[in-house]
Amino acid sequence: MLGIDVGAETIKIAELALDRDGTTRWTRRMIREHHKAPMAQLAAMLEEFDWDGVDAAAVTGRLSRTVNLPRIPVKQAQIRGFETIVGDGPATVVSIGSHGFSVLEIRDSGVEMFRENSRCSQGTGNFLRQLVERFDMTIEDASAITRNVAKPAPLSGRCPVILKTDMTHLANKGEPREQILAGLFDAVCENVQVLIKPRVSPRNVYLIGGVTRAPRIHDTFDRFLARNHMQRVATRDDDNLFF
């Protein structure tokens, strides 16, 4: 069986097999950027997965409507992904992807709450990439130089226009780029954290999505969660990319 996530920047495919005892296990996983040509990239990836031999498939993600397969809403996909990868809740799943971020609460009562960002791009991976590229850097490069910055530049995280203006102003003043970029990473975190409700959100927090690979994102969330008597739970390997 294949689970396909067609996102704004990448395509992810997870292949699973059903054992004789009824348990589901991973067999292969793949992630690739599609460079604005998702259907061509998906076709190439499915060839590698021997599409003719697949028994079942479903699709989710921002561009899932372009694929002629049963569609799974993001909330339901994340819930099932959590059950498969982690098991039982309660848990708070924080997703930060290329074009959106969300918070999923899986509660003891069996109730699931799902909150996601508005149409504003602030806090998403694509927005982060655009601003990082202004310094002629990749997100990976920016992530490497920002982790241990003790005094990040103070940036407003509520409005992307103001944030861009603040960054340009600081750069023109000669502020070190690592401090500006550290402030950018922190502003992204703060924008996402607004969706977390510490008094009601489950204590164990899982970070998923490509943006959450940055060490500074982890560190900033760890401090926020500690202040609110919550904790981040690490996932194995690259599980956080394939929820």
pLDDT per residue as tens digits for the range 4-56: 999 888 999 999 998 889 888 889 999 999 999 999 999 999 999 999 999 99
Topology agreement, domain 1-72 and domain 73-243: yes
Beta carbons of 4 and 70 less than 8 angstroms apart = no
Domain boundaries, the chain: 1-72, 73-243
Q: How far apart are CA 149 and CA 195, in angstroms?
A: 26
**pLDDT for 120 beyond 90:** no
**pLDDT for 151 beyond 90:** yes
Q: Tokens at residue 197, please?
A: 């409700």
Q: What is the pTM of this model?
A: 0.88
Q: What share of the chain is helix, strand, coil (3-state, %, to 5)?
A: 40, 20, 40
Tell me the pLDDT band of 118, cut-offs 50, 70 and 90: low
**pLDDT for 119 beyond 60:** no
CATH 3.30.420.40 given to domain 1-72: yes
Q: Given this model, what pLDDT does residue 125 score? A: 67
Mean pLDDT of all residues in 129-136: 85
Q: Given this model, what pLDDT does residue 237 score? A: 84
Domain 73-243: CATH architecture, name and number where available = 2-Layer Sandwich (3.30)
DSSP 137: -
Burial letters for 180-192: b for 16+ Cβ neighbours within 10 Å, e otherwise?
bbbbbbbbbbbbb
**pLDDT for 217 beyond 70:** yes
